[in-house]
A and B are shown apart, each in its own frame.
Chain A
Amino acid sequence: MRFILVDDILDLDPGKQIRGLKRIGIDEDYFRDHFPGFPVVPGVLLTEMMAQLAGKCLDAENPSRGRSMLAAIESAKFRHWVNPGEVAIIEATILVSRPQFAKAKCQVHVGEKLVATSELFFSFVPVSQFAPGFRDPVLERYYESRQQPSGQTPL
């Protein structure tokens, strides 16, 4: 199982704000158990979506600081179920960004509906601890899309 929970970045202001999306597949493996006959996206995965997206905003700001890692979930609320086939629009605003830590306020919408919110705390891990040449495929794709004439990431 891959653990990439952001499909595309829609807007990015490094170190400040980011918006992205995750298309929820109709046959995600976890729906078999969460829950039989009542498939909904687990809250921990919604939180991870927010963490991954906020992390990209931080990583884009200052790659030499290290890669952002979720260190604490200061708060998380899940207001509505997210169902198979829906598109989650994720947003993160960076509240504090320092050399050693960062905080972000995040939310997830499905359509007009606010389905989840969180405040997340990040630390940073030196880039040297990752596989040589590691690059974030979602961020890379975003930067590539910005170089195309349309400058748009398709929904």
Chain B
Amino acid sequence: MSQLEALRWIAQTFEESPERITAETSRDRIPAWDSLGVLTLMAGLDQDFGVLLSDAELRPMASVGDILNVLQAHGKISA
């Protein structure tokens, strides 16, 4: 998956328009990234990428870039 595809996936997860989402977009700019959003993200990572993160790993995330880093760390984004 390319970074662009990952950004689209993140936008879809949070029901955002892809144009609004970049690596720099902070969590507070994404209304659906709330407590349910954390669970939705967790479920999406599990279902779509086989990446199961703990609550503790997900909650400190502060930007879209942090999600991209997780995907990269698990080898889901091609360099």
Interface positions of A (Cβ within 8 A of B):
71-72, 96, 98, 100-101, 103, 121, 123
Query: What total of A-B pairs shows CB separation below 8 Å?
Result: 23
Q: Are A100 and B47 in contact (CB under 8 A)?
A: no
21 A-B contact pairs sorted by A residue (CB < 8 Å)? A71-B36, A71-B39, A72-B36, A72-B40, A96-B43, A96-B46, A96-B47, A98-B42, A98-B43, A98-B52, A100-B39, A100-B42, A101-B39, A101-B42, A101-B43, A103-B43, A121-B39, A121-B40, A121-B43, A123-B36, A123-B39
Report the Cα distance A103→B47, complex, angstroms. Answer: 11
Instruction: Judge whether B55 is part of the interface by a CB distance below 8 angstroms.
Output: yes
Cβ contacts under 8 Å, B43 to chain A: 96, 98, 101, 103, 121
| Residue positions of B touching A, CB distance < 8 A | 36, 39-40, 42-43, 46-47, 52, 55
A98 and B36 contact, CB distance less than 8 A: no
**Complex alpha-carbon distance, A123 and B42, angstroms:** 11
Chain B residue numbers with a CB within 8 Å of A121 are 39-40, 43
B33 → A minimal CB distance (Å)? 14
B37 to chain A, nearest CB (A): 10
* Contact yes or no, B40 A98, CB < 8 A: no
CA–CA, A149 to B19, complex, Å?
A: 63
**A97 CB → nearest B CB, Å:** 11
Q: Which chain B residues lie closer than 8 Å to A72 at the CB level?
A: 36, 40
Q: How far is the CA of A71 from the CA of B39 in the complex (A)?
A: 9
